[in-house]
Structure 1
């Protein structure tokens, strides 16, 4: 779908690679299966614990509306189905940094803040071409 910006299966490689900084937050280091992307992701480990070796599906989307219409970013309770119904952990954030791939490594990198919880996704620039600076997006995760 057009509102799906990135989707892959990741495997947790390490937890808190720089040491534990917060009681309820864990920084995971993960590698994707299909696109060979590298990721650092801060998650609320009290709500959604992950362990080394565990696999999870990750989706970055511009809206939670199943029909692809724009999303306000506000939670609207009710009987309406949403993309979030198929996932276990959802965050809403803003993309604040994009670096284009260049040089020997030629890796692109995007950084997103979810209210202070950060995500960095690094890899082939072709997998980052749907992203724009200041873009609002949803991160959705489910264990596989």
Structure 2
């Protein structure tokens, strides 16, 4: 059984800037946000037509390994060795089902990959994890202990709600 938690990172952020370097694309905005609780800094590209965010707005953000609840995800991971591939098909086609797991609880969902982890500034115990969601990028910067579950190359879901 997979001992790792389904949730890689979770926190509440407040938008501090929207498109501070100017708008590069018509339908995409780059937001900069900060969290009070964990002291994390976020830079994120969002589809602004689908999920507009304004300066001063607060939102919850979660990065998870699977949209299925933790118990179901662990059971599915155990059953991935089945010869019939039925478990794999269920997990792959969750987006078609009426109950879409964690996606039902959030307003904005993206699927992507963790592509880089930079801890080159070890003196201040700060690190940055980089994510790509089909070309929309995210950089999450903060204390290493809050990003300890980040694994480069892993597929993840980004979940947001206001």
Larger radius of gyration: 2
What is the TM-score of this pair, normalised by structure 2?
Answer: 0.82
How much has 1:103 moved relative to structure 2? 3.9
Q: Say how many residue pairs are matched.
A: 143
Deviation at 1:101, TM superposition (A): 5.3
Q: Where is the helix percentage greater, Structure 1 or Structure 2?
A: 2
Q: Is the 8 A contact 2:19 2:30 kept in 1?
A: yes
Could you say which residue in structure 1 is the equivalent of 2:110? 91
Identify the structure with the greater strand proportion.
1
Of the three residues 25, 30, 41, the one matched with 2:28 is 25
> How does 1:66-105 map onto structure 2 within 5 Å?
66=69, 67-68=72-73, 69=76, 76-100=95-119, 102-105=121-124
Three-state SS of the structure 2 residue aligned to 1:21 is coil
Note if 1:10 corresponds to 2:29: no
CA root-mean-square deviation: 1.8
SS at match of 2:124: coil
User: What residue ranges of structure 1 are gaps of 5+ in the alignment?
Assistant: none
